[in-house]
Amino acid sequence: MSTRAVLHPLALVALALLIANDHVLKAAFPGWWTGKLSDVAGLAVFPLLVAAGGELAGLWRGDRRTVVVLAVITGVVFAAIKLSPLAGDGYRVAQAALQWPFRALAALAHGRGAPGLGRAHLTPDVTDLLALPALLVSPALLAATVRAAVSSPRASGRPPEPAAAPGR
Amino acid sequence: MPPLPLRHRRLASAVIVAAGAFASVATTMVEWVRTDDVIIPPVHLDSAQPIIEYHLRAKAEGPVTDSRAVLTVTLDHAVTNGAVRATLSGPDGLDRQEVVVNPIAAEPIYFEITPWSQCPTTSCQLEVTLRLELTSPPDVVATADLEGRAELNVSAPGEEPAGVQVDLDVVDEVIP
């Protein structure tokens, strides 16, 4: 069901907001609110994206329990990154490793040598924890999707139940 | 809205998940850029004064760790009976750029250097020299009129930290 919830308009808006804020708005309007906007949008949709990815890969069912567990894990990891220098360093190294192939491709395209691994940028701002309530959005979107599917079986994508044969 | 068939829904979900993965990885790949520019004053070169040098100071102050800088010089020129050799150079280890302009060239000179590749501290400063030299064959009267602009772009990955100041100034004009 999370593969369906991830197509919910609110999830799509949150994802679009995350990308636009990181790559356009932060540069155009650097400041407090653009810094928080990505945290809110990211936390709102991240558990649902992971749940949907796992469901597509056949790792789990992507039901409500899965999304709630992923939301809790996301919150704990997010808080640790913001509060603990050790966790923050771990995040910077892991993120840099994930980004390195893209940076290497960009460097090669510009005729430069492959860059070092380095560390990704991290702003350890405790006030970012104000965005944690956004984690409630993913379970809420899944619940809304389930409700819509139950109230309208056609909308669930399932074929309609066959009518009972007369005379049975 | 009519429901998507299951196969299309899985494809759409996969696209959204991929976009989410990209957004999560690229979230800190965004770069901030601060720019400052300065006018290269108009100058007339002839046989009496064939050379002029501008000393430019490129500076970035504040939390600029890991920043990079690109200095770009654009010159408009009018050259008669000769050529102008424009050279941008700095301390050891800095790429030296040289452009020769002849009367045929109508486009502005445009060249750039990277004054520092990785700034290790919270403040970076560099002196760069722009040398303009009029050359001509013996017994030929040549002149050149030049003016332009220099621009410094300082950039680094991540959100722009508060308090970053980027300055580019012409600190000296020297007639050797």
What is the interface pTM, i.e. ipTM, of the complex? 0.76
Tell me the residue type at A48: L
| pLDDT the model gives residue B120 | 67
Q: Render each residue's pLDDT in chain A as its tens digit; 168 residues.
A: 888 888 999 999 999 999 888 878 876 776 778 878 989 999 999 999 999 999 988 888 888 899 999 999 999 999 999 898 899 888 888 888 888 888 788 778 877 667 667 677 777 778 889 999 999 999 999 999 888 887 775 554 455 444 444 443
- The predicted pLDDT at position A76 comes to 95
Q: What is the pLDDT of residue A47?
A: 93
Neighbours of B44 (CB within 10 A): 14
- Evaluate whether residue B137 is within a structural domain: yes
- pLDDT value at position B3? 64
CA distances (Å), origin B91, targets B13, B37, B95, B128: 54, 21, 9, 8
Which residues fall within 8 angstroms of residue B97, CB to CB, at 6 or more apart? B87, B88, B89, B111, B112, B113
| Residue B127 falls inside a structural domain | yes
The pLDDT, as a whole number, for residue A167 is 43
Q: Which of B17, B27, B158 is opposite residue A6, by nearest beta carbon?
A: B17
* Average pLDDT for B90-102: 67
Mean pLDDT to the nearest integer, B127-146: 88
Between B132 and B23, the more confident residue is B132
Residue B10 lies in a domain: no
Q: What is the pLDDT of residue B170?
A: 92
Using the Cβ of A130 and the Cβ atoms of chain B, whether some distance falls under 8 Å is answered with: no
At residue B106 the predicted structure's pLDDT band, cuts being 50, 70 and 90, is low
Q: Give me the residue from A3, A27, A155 closest to B32, CB to CB.
A: A27
> Between A55 and B103, where is the model more confident?
A55
Tell me, what's the pLDDT at A137? 94
Q: How big is chain A, counted in residues?
A: 168
Mean pLDDT value of segment B75-90: 84
Q: Whole-number mean pLDDT of chain B?
A: 80
* A154 touching B (Cβ < 8 Å): yes
Residue A4 to residue B9, Cβ atoms within 8 A? yes
Which residues of chain A have a CB within 8 Å of the CB of B27?
Answer: 18, 22, 38, 42
Instruction: For residue B141, tell me if it sits in a domain.
Output: yes
Chain B residues interacting with chain A (CB cutoff of 8 angstroms) = 3-6, 9-10, 12-14, 16-17, 19-33, 66, 156-160
Choose, out of A10, A22, A93, the residue to mutate when testing the contact with B (most B CBs < 10 Å). Answer: A22
The CA distance from B83 to B50, in Å, is 11
Residue B38 lies in a domain: yes
Q: For residue B92, what pLDDT is reported? A: 60
Backbone angles phi, psi at B55, to 5 degrees: -100, 120
Residue B70 to residue B58: CA distance in whole angstroms:
10
Candidates B6, B17, B25; nearest CB to A56: B17
In a domain? residue B15: no
What is the rounded distance in angstroms from the CA atom of residue B82 to the CA atom of residue A3? 70
Decide if A74 contacts A133 (C-beta within 8 A): no
The partner residue sitting opposite B20, judged by closest CB among A38, A49, A154, is: A49
3-state secondary structure of A99: helix
Rounded Cα gap, residues B69 and A117, in angstroms: 20
The residue whose two tokens read 């993965």 is B21
Nearest CA in chain A to B2: A155
Question: Alpha-carbon distance B158 to B29, whole Å?
Answer: 6
Number of domains in chain B: 1
pLDDT in tens, B5-27: 777 888 888 898 888 888 888 77
Chain A positions in Cβ-Cβ contact with residue B159 (cut-off 8 Å):
26, 30, 34-35, 121, 123
**pLDDT classification of B53: cutoffs 50, 70, 90:** very high
Nearest to B10 among A34, A56, A99 (CB): A56
Q: Provide the pairing of β-strand B109-113 with B123-135.
A: unpaired
Percent of chain B with pLDDT over 90: 14
Q: B134 near B48, Cβ under 8 Å?
A: no
Please give the residue that has the higher pLDDT: either B161 or B168.
B168
Comparing CA positions, the residue from A130, A135, A115, A142 lying closest to residue A55 is: A142
Q: Which of B12, B20, B157 sits opposite A121 (nearest CB)?
A: B157
The answer to the question of residue B12 being in a domain is no
Contact B50, B140 (CB under 8 A): no
Contact B57, B171 (CB under 8 A): yes
Query: Which candidate in B13, B34, B166 is best for mutational testing of the A interface (most A CBs within 10 A)?
Result: B13
Question: Which of B64, B16, B27 shows the shortest CA–CA distance to A95?
Answer: B27
A140 Cβ under 8 Å from any chain B Cβ:
no
- Enter the pTM of the model: 0.58
Q: Is it the case that residue B49 has pLDDT exceeding 80?
A: yes
| CATH number (domain holding residue B52) | 2.60.120
Question: Rounded to whole angstroms, what are the CA distances from B164 to A121, B123, B156?
Answer: 16, 9, 11
Asked whether residue B14 is domain-assigned, the answer is no
Distance (Å, whole) CA B22 – CA B16: 10
Extract the tokens encoding B114: 């990277």
Return the number of CB contacts < 8 Å for A and B.
Answer: 100
Give the gap in angstroms from C-alpha B155 to the nearest C-alpha of chain A: 11
Is A123 in Cβ contact with B16 (below 8 Å)? no
Structural domain boundaries enclosing B43: 31-174
**Amino acid making up residue B130:** L
pLDDT given for residue A48 in this prediction: 93
Q: Do B9 and A154 touch (CB under 8 A)?
A: no
Interchain contact A98–B (C-beta under 8 A): yes
